[in-house]
Amino acid sequence: MKKVLNAAWFLLVAVQAQAEQSTQWQVTLGAGGAIITTPWAGMATQHQSLPFVSAQYGRWRFGVDQGLVSYRVLDSQVGIDMGLNFRDPSYDSVFLYKSDLSDDPVFTSYDDPSGELVATMALNYHGFSARFAQDISNESSSLAANVSYTLSPWELSDKLRVHTRFGVRLLSEDYTQHFYGVSRVQAAPQYGRTEYHSQGAINPFARIALSYQFAPQWQAVAAYRSEFWDDEIYHSPLVSTHYTHQLMVFFTYRLR
């Protein structure tokens, strides 16, 4: 799968089958906050202040909602995007920059796995979306997929809308073992960190968001997301919950 994604990315971007639709930058900036629970044993609820940056130039997209960079190679009834991103769902993730790490002894002398650079591919058809991310940095050599469906927005008024999405995350065995497993080298039974090898996992999730367009270029967004964690991850000695939650509030300004 890694070779397929890499070959497809370079081929499709090189071909550029359709002409650029726009040559003007479209930039959205903003900031907000998030309250996040994690699956890690003994880790407190995280409170984060987060920037929001999203940009588009023709078929190129950049920013937190697009990954590091993505390119729209097909833009019709079926949309196809290829790109690059960085993922790090580890215990001491770089994305939880204000994180209060766990006091649980299971993490004593624990060597946190590294994040990784991934090649991404996204397929979109109406409300359906399938997104794939394959490690290309030789950290885990793992593949993860996100398959979801987004309902048509529910318009409460001309400015207020409700957005709903639900789906599943499909995590390969290499992925779950890299981030949630415990190898023989990492095992420390005296701290409760017994050796654990996980299999692939399927995590269902749901997201609901409320957006309010209070000015032509200004928008406020509040979003809640909940995820159920597969037993293959839950049974890891590093994990203590089946459910995680995220609550985020953002204010954004569209420059163009």
User: Could you report the average pLDDT of every consecutive run of 10 residues in the chain (256 residues)?
Assistant: 51 46 81 96 92 92 85 90 96 81 94 94 95 96 97 93 98 97 96 97 98 95 98 98 97 90
Q: Which domains, ranges and CATH numbers included, belong to the chain?
A: 2-254 (2.40.160)
- pTM to 2 decimal places: 0.87
Q: Which of 73, 66, 84 is nearest to 14 (CA)?
A: 73
pLDDT at 63: 87
Residues 72 and 18: their CA atoms lie apart, in Å, by 10
Both structure tokens of 143: 């593949």
Q: Are 226 and 248 in contact (CB under 8 A)?
A: no
Angle at 176 between CA 2 and CA 179, to 5 degrees: 100
Q: Which residue has tokens 């609901």?
A: 208
Task: Say if CB 113 and CB 178 are below 8 A apart.
Answer: yes
